[in-house]
Structure 1
């Protein structure tokens, strides 16, 4: 395997290119579906953060456009996947990604199911009834599902309805539908998605996942990959080995990273202009690496990575996470406040303001910056 020594900034530049965060008109004109395919989804625990993760990688995307793609065109889907967390996925990737991740996180939740009284017999009984219900119904809320099961003599209390629906989603049976008065609804996948299912063997899916990860996050490591996917390191090693003949090693000090050789050849000569980005909480740039030494300022670590799985939106300057920001929505405007950033020089301030104005365009209202 070829080894290439690169500076920290060169590694950051390659990651920005891979993450579609470089100042590249051709890259930013791609579709939502293509971004989700390349990145293997974006975390959508909070749909507004996921929407901004797409916005920061695209030109001219609005929140109305995203709603149309999600609800009307249905070429993207919201469900649980990597790390057992909610994601936006390209509909085309739904079946093979769920096939690879779903059962792993069902097994990890087994003890919780037992605590809630959801044994295999009860789960099967619920699913048989829910399949008939969803086949004949409009999108349903969690409470509507709970009430229906109660009429069938199945009483689920506390967090049991949530975990039942999550497991059904990880099994690939249901996914999220349109919100109803800010309340999430659930739909039957086979009725909701318009695209033909793409089923892969485990070996094919692992190969594809590793390749996709390196395309979107490289230079990176096997540990980074396993941390991002949530799949066991031993499992990911199988896929890693299947792609190893396409990789090169990137060296910086004690860091040994890997990326696809063809991507290195494609991106090595791209010049990254000075870039200032406001990436949302749970952005793929924040979640894609177990070791963040090369991209995270020690002064910003506690401000952005709050512990307990909580992340704040981040200010990224030339690929380096230097602080956080927050957004407040008012009836007719949004306000963005910058936190924990060293003294801002005027050119950077102008770039931040430009990003804030773009955010206002995304939400369709004026935007105000507070430093």
Structure 2
């Protein structure tokens, strides 16, 4: 007899998302593969971003993700929502072509407050190019943020009160600068990246027109994040909803529509097939980083996170997402990194009571994997 089709529930929808994102043992062989599949991964907090990639590339260590940043096979920049993401280098320019104009308009009032003009941004571009050229002649591959800020100040461009970071972000939004290799100090791995000229670091960029690019961005978002709604995509990408809906018409023949909770969710045919074959992950347990795409990558997070627990993940709605524990497709708590003397560990913070014994064992296994990953 044919297998009975799985009835969608919030937990099933969550597990479908885990499968789409490569989090159910179906990850990717390399860091660039994982990042390109996700299209853009939230990376404001670098340590969280490293573990987010590590969860999607079995056997990877943090040093391997850093190596991809050093080699330029993965880049980190501000493609949308004014926050840092990891992307495939070939994707950054065309995505900026879709998103940067709207973001710059949104930042216009703040730039007026900071007395930032288009001439100031062009001036800082010239300063940044000259600074990186001098550093390169000295054998250094790029400039730190502090070096650029110092050069800006020496040229009369103030950097106080966030003016410097807005200038720097504007240079990246215009594809003049991009973050390149990690900044090491005295043989130690640094915690920031060097800034380098965009065209020198990324020499192979795809070129897509706006309509074609939005359609591709939507298709790839649904493929890696589905089931998701067109409103989820519009929030995630900051593409206006009218354009997102128009793009959906172009790609919906390659996607599957799933009706749930009175709305239309979209997912790839491969993910939709799991409803017939049996959706995996009912006993899965993951310790995901803060800001992970599993939770952050959607406008509506109620499918996987009960609304009454939302402020335990984002205290005070301050925009800072805590690390999350995900059991069977549902967020069941947060977790923390602990330090006692020279000993580093992890501690679960379940929403309700204590973890069941099996979940406790799974969490401890995840914790060991996390500590091994970060040390590697």
Q: Considering the TM-score relative to the shorter chain, is it more than 0.5? A: yes
Question: Does the 8 Å contact 2:289/2:323 carry over to 1?
Answer: yes
Offset of residue 361 of structure 1:
1.3
Long gaps (5+) in structure 1:
366-371
What do residues 317-358 of structure 1 show as CA deviations (whole Å, max 9, x unaligned)?
A: 011011111113567542111113333211111111110111
CA 1:146–1:240: 2 relative to 1, 3 Å: same
CA 1:268–1:54: 2 relative to 1, 3 Å: farther
CA 1:333–1:88: 2 relative to 1, 3 Å: farther
CA distance in 2: counterparts of 1:5 and 1:252, whole angstroms: 10
- 1:165 corresponds in structure 2 to 168
- 1:233 corresponds in structure 2 to 241
Measured on the aligned residues, the alpha-carbon RMSD in Å equals 2.3
- 2:252 corresponds in structure 1 to 244
CA distance in 1: counterparts of 2:350 and 2:122, whole angstroms: 50
- 2:325 corresponds in structure 1 to 315
- 1:152 corresponds in structure 2 to 155
Offset of residue 50 of structure 1:
0.4
CA distance in 2: counterparts of 1:149 and 1:236, whole angstroms: 39
1:179 corresponds, among 177, 183, 187, to 183
CA distance in 2: counterparts of 1:231 and 1:331, whole angstroms: 47
Offset of residue 102 of structure 1:
2.0
CA 1:149–1:347: 2 relative to 1, 3 Å: closer
Question: Does the 8 Å contact 1:300/1:321 carry over to 2?
Answer: no
Question: Does the 8 Å contact 2:22/2:28 carry over to 1?
Answer: no
What do residues 204-259 of structure 1 show as CA deviations (whole Å, max 9, x unaligned)?
A: 21111000111011111111111111232223223222112333321234243222
Count of aligned positions: 357
- 2:267 corresponds in structure 1 to 259
CA distance in 2: counterparts of 1:122 and 1:292, whole angstroms: 40
- 2:207 corresponds in structure 1 to 199
SS at 2:77 equivalent:
strand
In the alignment, structure 1 residue 214 sits paired with structure 2 residue 222: yes
In the alignment, structure 1 residue 361 sits paired with structure 2 residue 360: no
CA distance in 2: counterparts of 1:29 and 1:179, whole angstroms: 27
Offset of residue 78 of structure 1:
1.0
What's the TM-score, normalizing by structure 1? 0.89
CA distance in 2: counterparts of 1:156 and 1:298, whole angstroms: 40
Long gaps (5+) in structure 2:
1-5, 186-190
Q: Runs of 4+ in structure 1 displaced over 6 angstroms?
A: none
SS at 2:280 equivalent:
coil
- 2:335 corresponds in structure 1 to 325
What's the TM-score, normalizing by structure 2? 0.88
SS at 2:304 equivalent:
coil
SS at 2:332 equivalent:
strand
